[in-house]
């Protein structure tokens, strides 16, 4: 993907399996197709066509599990198939509020957040306390994820009165087969962010 990563983000990613030429190919397209079927099987009145930004992102970063630098027990799992049983409504509502299509690209283990990317390449976090903005592009999103600041509320990016780019279905589709990826339980708690590394740490 054509973007410049901050040096500390580049170092973090390469330490955990990424490199600039990485391309998981068919594994990315299969993961997208599995997640699309899973979302459409939830019978909410939305379509979940992945924007053009999704496949390039997942071909480069998909299936990585990235530990937070300051809290390695917190993982950013870049697999769109990791899902809640009924997260399609939240994803569809975020698309409606933003006025552009969005699609899941990963999951945060700490508090059960779903990461989504929109048609503009922006990254948002769907947490049980609300939706949050993680970055205007991949570089900003990774810098936010491996930092310690609480992200901005996604409402700052809502497009009031703008017509969404996705369309509503005339009738629900029947449930699709459940994908093989694990389904995570939704935790309780409040919006937090991992603490930064202790001074003098690695």
Q: Please report, for the chain, the start and end positions of each structural domain, with discontinuous segments joined by +.
A: 25-157
Arithmetic mean of pLDDT over the chain: 83
Q: How confident is the model at residue 56, as a pLDDT?
A: 98
Q: Which of 184, 171, 177 is nearest to 47 (CA)?
A: 171
Residue 159: pLDDT band by 50, 70, 90 thresholds?
confident
Q: Which of 167, 84, 158, 95 is nearest to 128 (CA)?
A: 84
Tell me the mean pLDDT in the region 126-152: 94
Residue 2: pLDDT band by 50, 70, 90 thresholds?
low
Q: How far apart are CA 36 and CA 167, in angstroms?
A: 15
Q: Are 86 and 40 spatial neighbours (Cβ–Cβ below 8 Å)?
A: no
Q: How far apart are CA 137 and CA 3, in angstroms?
A: 8
Question: Residue 17 pLDDT > 80, yes or no?
Answer: yes
pLDDT digits (tens, 9 = 90+) for 50-71: 999 999 999 999 999 999 999 9
Residue 53 vs residues 57, 58, 161, 198: alpha-carbon distances, Å: 6, 9, 24, 36
């Amino acid at each position: 993907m054509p973007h410049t990563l901050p040096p500390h983000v580049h170092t973090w990613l390469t330490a955990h399996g990424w490199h600039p030429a990485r391309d998981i190919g068919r594994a990315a397209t299969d993961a997208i197709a599995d997640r699309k079927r899973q979302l459409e099987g939830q019978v909410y009145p939305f379509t979940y066509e992945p924007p053009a930004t999704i496949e390039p992102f997942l071909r480069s970063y998909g299936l990585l599990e990235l530990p937070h630098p300051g809290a390695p027990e917190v993982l950013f799992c870049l697999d769109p198939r990791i899902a809640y049983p009924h997260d399609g409504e939240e994803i569809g509502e975020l698309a409606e509020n933003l006025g552009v299509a969005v699609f899941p690209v990963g999951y945060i283990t700490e508090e059960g957040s779903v990461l989504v990317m929109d048609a503009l390449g922006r990254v948002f976090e769907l947490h049980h306390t609300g939706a949050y903005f993680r970055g205007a592009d991949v570089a900003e999103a990774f810098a936010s994820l491996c930092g310690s600041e609480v992200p901005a509320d996604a409402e700052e990016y809502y497009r009031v009165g703008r017509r969404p780019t996705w369309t509503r279905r005339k009738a629900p589709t029947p449930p699709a087969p459940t994908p093989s990826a694990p389904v995570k339980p939704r935790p309780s708690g409040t919006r937090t962010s991992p603490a930064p590394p202790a001074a003098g740490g690695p």
